[in-house]
Structures are given as C-alpha cells and as structure tokens.
A and B are shown apart, each in its own frame.
Chain A
C-alpha cells in the first residue's frame, strides 16, 4: 500500500508542533512523511499518488496526551474556502481532480498548550513514542478498522454532493 503522512501545524505554538515534529521524525526514518503548516490545494497532487493519507495533527478535543484515530472522507466544506483546506475538503478536491481520493485517516494527539513560544507539554511528551508507533504502523498499512481509537468515527466520508 502506498501511503503518505502529512504533519500539520506550527512548530512555534506548543503542542501544535505535534504534526510537523512527528512528520520530521518519520521522514528521518525514511518513511513517506512531511511537515506542512497548513493543507493546500497543491497537496491534492500528492494525494493522487497514494492509497492512504495519514494526517498527523494536534487535537483540542481529545484529552491531553490521548491518541485518537479518525477516518475522514471527501466532504465539501459548507463555508467558503480560499486556499487553506481541512482534510475532508482536501480529499474532496482530490476526487474532483482525479476521480478518486485515498483513504484518509487523522491521527491526532490531544494538546494541552497551544500558546506561541511554548514547548511540548508533559502529557504530549509522555505519549510521544506511542503516537509515533501508531503512525509507523498505519504507514506500513496496518488496518484502521478494528483499531479501538477509530471506533465510532469510521462512518464519515460521503462523497461531495
């Protein structure tokens, strides 16, 4: 399975650095991952080449240090969009341009602090290795279904209407 991880976030805002730092760590291991500040239409070109995309991100909804996995599908956003996209709208753009989108998974790590200049919080640092291990497994093609963290969130993903 061809896979790609996009680590989303700002390295300057505390736990928001989770995505880019994880992407850089995985890329250093030779895995297909890279850090991005935000998702852009250009990324649809890369998504066309893979069967699974893993969005690595910090989460304000999850408890600090909790690892969550959410399946996302191509859904056109309700509000107007400009050049910055969320995972669902990026997948929808991929469908519009290429007729298909890869399987989309958001692997998130619950954030405790997102202030500019802050480092990684204690809960995030504690969960770091487990988070990376999950990312490695998913990049290697491990099934997302059946993953306890994905339960209850795997039904999303209607095609844009």
Chain B
C-alpha cells in the first residue's frame, strides 16, 4: 500500500490536505480530508457584550460575512425577545441574497470554472481564472460583473463590501434609500441575463463531465436545510426539512433553534473540521449534505418564475433527490437566478423603504439561537449570556462542517474512481481537488482557518511512507 498527499488543496477557501492510502493493487484504499488550521472564534467571543456579536462574527469570513452577521443578529433578536420590524427583515433578506450572488459567483467563475471549461486535465499552470479570461472572456466578464453587483449592493446597503456591521440585534441600523433601491433594481436585468447565459453554457458542457457526475461524491445521503412555509426556497428564515436519497421528506417543520435535538458533532483525530451527523442515525449512518444541492432537493419549488423553470429542467436529470455533488455547481447557478429575482421583488415593494427598521430593547433572555442558509448551507449561531449581557458561551455550526462527512466520502469515491497509483497523473489528483471544490468549502468559517485554502495531497505506501506529494502555494 502507498500514500498520496495533496497539499495544499487549491482554489478553495482556507487550507486543507488530502491523504490517499493506496492498496497493493495501486488503487486507492482509503482517503482523508484534513483541515489543519484553527481560529477559535467561539473562545474569542466569550466575555464580549452580546450586541457586539454580529459585527464580531462577521469577521469569521471574508466571503460570507453577511451570513454570519445575519445569523448572529438573529440570535441577538432572540436575546432581546423583540419582533424585528418588517422593513428590517426585508432589508436583511436583500443583503443576504446579494451576498449569496457574489459568493456563488466567486465559487463558480473564479474557482470551479477553470476545471469545468478548460478541462480537468488542462495544464495546471494555466488552469485558473486568468487563463479562462483569455479563452472565455465573455464568461469571465459575466462572472466578474455578478460578483461586483452583489458586492456593490452590500456596500450600498450596509456601508462596506466586507465585514459590514449594519445588521444588529433588533433590525438594521439605517433604512434603505430610494437611490439604493433604484441601484438594486437597475442592476437586476443584466445580472439575470448573465446567469441565464452561464446556465446555458454550463448545461451544454455537462456531456463532457459524465464521469465526474458519476463519481463526484455521488452517493445516497440525507439532505438538510431551511425551507419556507410554502415549501419554497429560503435563505433567511423558515423551518428545517430533511429529505432522503429518494427525495422523500423524512422530517419537516422542525424548529431550527432546537438543532441540538437533531444534530450531534463528532471530532476527527486528524482535522479541526468537526463532523456533524443526524443524531438519530448515529455517526456512521447519519451523513447528510447541506448547501445549494441540498436546498434544491428539499424544496417544493423555488418560488420565482425563472428559477422555477430552471428547477424543472434540473430535476428532469434524475428521479428523486439529485445525488451527485457535481451538481452543486448547477444548483448554485439556479440559486443565483432565484436570489436576483427575489431581490427585485423585495426592493420593488414600497414597504422596503419604511424607515422603522430597528426595535430597541435590552436583554430579555439569557440564550439566543440564530439560523440562516448561508451560501454553503445551514449556519447556526448559538449564544449564552450572563445577566450583564456578556457572552458566556458560543456554539457555531457552520455549513462546511455539516458537509464534513460527505467530503470524506466524496474524496474517497473520486480518488477510487480516478487515481491510479501506478500511473499517477496530475489530472487524476485535480479531480480529487475538484470534488472538494464542488462543495465550495469555506474552512476559514468551518475551523474558525486563516487565509485561502490551498490543497495538499499525499500518497502513502502500504507501510505508510509518503511516496508522492502534490503541494501548491495558496
């Protein structure tokens, strides 16, 4: 048996390493996905006033700070025990949807598209967004435009693109101006056209990726996430729904603030990434997936016309739940359509301009839980405070963490399918990285790691000696 190490994994957020153990036949026998960095946001927050939590928690991540901001503010709402004004909820939603657009654009266009459009076996030195811009400039222009639009909406609403602090317990700190409303609405048509053109190109490319579709974390599992009251796609609120691999609803209407009754977390000996599992099924059988793939498996409908048309086409690919994690990319594009359509609906409603956007109160509870659907999946912020409003305990359950067990299984499945230890080629290992990218893991969030996520893959001999290492700088 031999071992391959991919270190670092590239084009993902954070730092990770993959170890592949080979059997005597040269094929992969086992695989591990290690996350080696540590930040301990749960500890940093202890002792701070609870009303600082949204701004502090937004610092967890530079890609999805708004999700942390929203989840932490919702936990703060629960501590205040107030009803957040309707206009504030609308503005929080617009902000959060804008962030999902920019985050999905980054994942698809900057990180994944070089593999999808230049090829998994393309020269690794030229398999990046810059080379893609030379080959497909219009596509990259669209991606840059979508990300810039999402970022600019965040900046105009919340004051800054990254780490805003505009969402606070009780609402938001200022109303939306008519000028910002007009900016949001005026950018939607071009953004929708960009996503639809990209969807067309992506769907045409699917026939080139049949092997990856079959082998990229394509296995039965549960899918978990928030769903709107009417069964529609939901990113801000809603109740937890669980579907099985056949697409049947296993649980519905679960109160997400009671997450501890449904979910348990397993610590891994070789990774700072915790592995949640569905408690009733135990750590071996309780693997589930969250994020765009899961959300499209969970909902009855998206709830907006263009996204629903695309969802119908997407669902025609397979009966039951869509099981291949390759389709995370597809689901991201459908979700971007939904986010843009819903942003426009919300901005067009005059109630979104209401100036009553903040409920004032002191702490009325000693515990609060806030849950939202971040770009990568369900995000849970749980705070406990003392009588003075100072934080005494924090638990963060992060989207990438939910997918931890699926990432391990997916890396193993992909490595078994593509990696030949006797005739090792870079493209084989790139596919192992690419399955990780399909999940769009954000390890800065999930381990509370510093910086980008490069990949490190190590190949081990039957006796455990490192035989090959693929390591790239961040």
CB atoms of A45 and B129 under 8 A apart: no
- B300 at the binding interface (Cβ < 8 Å): no
Chain B residue with the shortest CB-CB distance to A99: B137
CB atoms of B130 and A92 under 8 A apart: yes
Please report the C-alpha to C-alpha distance between residue A137 and residue B394 in the assembled complex, in whole angstroms.
51
Chain B residue with the shortest CB-CB distance to A74: B130
CB atoms of B131 and A44 under 8 A apart: no
CB atoms of B133 and A82 under 8 A apart: no
Please report the C-alpha to C-alpha distance between residue A76 and residue B133 in the assembled complex, in whole angstroms.
11
- B228 at the binding interface (Cβ < 8 Å): no
B contact residues, total (Cβ < 8 Å): 31
CB distance from A93 to the nearest CB of B (A): 5
- B464 at the binding interface (Cβ < 8 Å): no
CB atoms of B137 and A83 under 8 A apart: no
Q: Which B residues, 106 to 163, have Cβ-Cβ distances below 8 Å to chain A? A: 106, 110-111, 124-131, 133-134, 137, 140-141, 143-145, 147-148, 151, 162
CB distance from B423 to the nearest CB of A (A): 23
Please report the C-alpha to C-alpha distance between residue A97 and residue B143 in the assembled complex, in whole angstroms.
12
- B11 at the binding interface (Cβ < 8 Å): yes
Contact (A42, B147) CB under 8 Å given A83-B129, A93-B129? yes
CB atoms of B140 and A97 under 8 A apart: yes
A contact residues, total (Cβ < 8 Å): 20
- A81 at the binding interface (Cβ < 8 Å): yes
CB distance from B144 to the nearest CB of A (A): 5
- A41 at the binding interface (Cβ < 8 Å): yes
Which of B10, B127, B130, B143 has the most chain A CB atoms inside 10 A of its CB?
A: B130
CB atoms of B472 and A80 under 8 A apart: yes
Interface set of A (CB-CB < 8 Å, partner B): 37, 41-42, 44-45, 76-84, 89, 92-93, 96-97, 160
Interface set of B (CB-CB < 8 Å, partner A): 10-12, 62, 106, 110-111, 124-131, 133-134, 137, 140-141, 143-145, 147-148, 151, 162, 452, 472-474
15 contacts between A and B (CB under 8 A): A41-B129, A42-B147, A42-B148, A44-B144, A76-B131, A77-B130, A80-B472, A82-B10, A82-B129, A82-B452, A83-B106, A84-B452, A89-B130, A93-B129, A96-B137
Q: What 10 additional pairs, Cβ within 8 angstroms, besides A41-B143, A81-B129, A93-B133?
A: A79-B473, A80-B127, A80-B128, A80-B473, A82-B11, A82-B111, A82-B474, A83-B111, A92-B130, A97-B140
